[in-house]
Chains A and B, each alone.
Chain A
Amino acid sequence: MSGQNIFDKLQNIDRKVFYWVLFITLCVPFMFPLALPIKVVKNTSDLYDGVTGANIEPGDIALINFGYGVSAWSECAPGIAVCTKALFREGARIVFMGSHYDVELTYNKLRSDAAADFAGKTYGEDYVFLGYFTGGESAIAQLATDAWTVYPEDHFRTKVSDIPLMKDFHGWEDIALVLSSDTGDVGSYFLRQWQGAHGTLLAEIGIAMNGSTDYPYYLAGNYFGLSIGSRGGAELEVLIGEPGEATTSMDSINASHILIVIAVILANVGYIVQRRKA
């Protein structure tokens, strides 16, 4: 360490220092919000238009897949909440299902985030929660052709034959659109087995990490809309006019993004100066 000048140190800042600085940087905006304006991008506005426009008529059934767990709530839950509210306000009926083992927690969170909209709806007639499924892409393919074999009961162990909404849902032909929100590949299962095979309208509400992978499918028209990460959730909250958790988290995202750029610049200043000296 002795003999290291400032430029050496800039290249080799201990990661513990960074982690502390990042932690503090993420916390400060919650205490002193910046509330910067959020510009809505086309992929998000297409998603919102898709769930509120001509794609959905009163009485249509929409399928919402919770492919994310508690760890991804901050990125996916706000977008799902906005879309659920929008679909209910259009008079659509919604089938909720999940491919993540803590799907019940996610469903309960959605019930709490969209409490006012759920209050006016009747379980079994306006919405149903089918619960967790296993089987991956095989199960999604089977869901498209015979949903009752994948879900003989809902999450609360009521036979689907006793649920009024489920009498109208047997396969892909009965679904107006699918919204998949996931941290992994379940969206791509729907892409292949529903959108690709049957042309069902499909949109993705995904985490930021998957944004670059999902974007080509949106540009190709496979997804009618795409919400990317917390920013997408914040944009959807702007569109519906109800700021929520995603909007609150934007300040921390701003701070962390700036910090990464500053750190990279500092490292490169040190690197370039040292290289010139050598």
Chain B
Amino acid sequence: MVFAITGIVTVLMFVEYFFFPQDWIVASTVRNWSVIILNISLGLGAVRLIMQHVMGTQRRRENWQFSALFLVAFVIMLFTGLAGYLSTGVATSNSVYNWLFNHVYTALGATTYAITGFYIFSAAYRAFRARNVDASLMLIAGCFVILSNAPVGEVIWSGIPAIGEWFRFVGQVPGMRVFGIVGALGTIAYGFRALLGKERGFYAGGAED
């Protein structure tokens, strides 16, 4: 069944892309269905999350207090959002919802993004070691590219931006192009195997052998 649906949808998308310069109503309808299915899956995730944390709280597992806190936060956001939506038609019209979203959720999200810089720093410190010729070349190129990306590079030495640009054009961009092309071929090959029922991941372990 999954196999048949996959095949039919693939053919529809192919036909639309190659044979219809404008939108084809059949393919367009199928795309709309995929959007609807995706949105339903968001609810699936929410249900699983609730089940996971309700069970954790009921069974008093380790750190069950955090599960309880999650459930409280979930209920508050759900009901305040619904209250805003039901009263004005816009979920973000509720002041409690807005306050929690703007001052708690987004602030925490921005903080976790900021952690990236620190972790990249420690990863670079650990990874950039001149263990062999290749690693040494990467180290030198990396330093030039890092400094050329910041205005201070030009202040240190006027040649840094030029060398950094050279590394980018000669090394980085062709490398990214290569990965882009081979990655695309790999995706096509994976899709072809999935179409023929050979990919286990696609069929959740139930593929033909």
Contact = CB atoms under 8 A, between A and B. Distances in A.
Interface of A: 13, 15, 18-19, 22-23, 34, 36-39, 69-73, 102, 104-105, 134-136, 138-139, 141-142, 145-146, 149, 155-157, 197, 208, 212-213, 215-216, 219, 229, 231, 250, 253-254, 256-261, 263-265, 267-268, 271-272
A141 B22 CA distance: 11
A261 B147 contact: yes
B4 to A, nearest CB: 20
Contact of A254 (B124, B130, B150): B150
Nearest to A255: B152
B39 interface: yes
Contacts of A213: 176, 180
Contact of B150 (A142, A145, A257, A263): A257
Contacts of B102: 105
B128 A212 contact: no
Given A36-B152, A70-B110, A268-B139, A138 B128 contact: no
Nearest to A271: B129
A219 B172 CA distance: 13
B201 to A, nearest CB: 19
Nearest to A108: B102
20 contacts: A23-B118, A37-B151, A70-B107, A70-B109, A71-B110, A71-B112, A102-B101, A134-B42, A142-B32, A155-B90, A197-B17, A213-B180, A215-B168, A215-B172, A253-B151, A258-B147, A259-B121, A263-B124, A264-B128, A271-B130
Given A13-B125, A71-B113, A257 B147 contact: yes
B184 to A, nearest CB: 11
B197 interface: no
B180 A216 contact: yes
B125 to A, nearest CB: 5
B34 interface: yes
Contacts of A264: 124-125, 128, 139, 142-143
A36 B151 contact: yes
Contacts of A139: 35
Interface residues of B, number: 53
Interface of A is mostly: helix
Interface in B157-180: 161, 168, 172-173, 176-177, 180
B177 to A, nearest CB: 5
B131 to A, nearest CB: 8
A22 B151 contact: no
A19 B154 CA distance: 26
Nearest to A35: B151
Interface of B is mostly: helix
Nearest to A228: B149
B164 to A, nearest CB: 11
Nearest to B125: A263
A261 B146 contact: yes
Contacts of A256: 117, 121
A212 B35 CA distance: 30
B113 A258 contact: no
Q: Which of A71, A155, A271 has the most CB of B within 10 A?
A: A71
A31 B118 CA distance: 21
B130 A257 contact: no
Contact of A18 (B109, B110, B122): B122
A175 B10 CA distance: 29
B106 interface: yes
B35 A134 contact: yes
Nearest to B39: A134
A260 B123 CA distance: 10
Contact of A260 (B28, B124, B153): B124
Given A36-B155, A72-B113, A146-B23, A138 B34 contact: yes
B150 to A, nearest CB: 4
A39 B110 contact: no
Q: Which of A134, A149, A231, A257 has the most CB of B within 10 A?
A: A257
B90 A215 contact: no
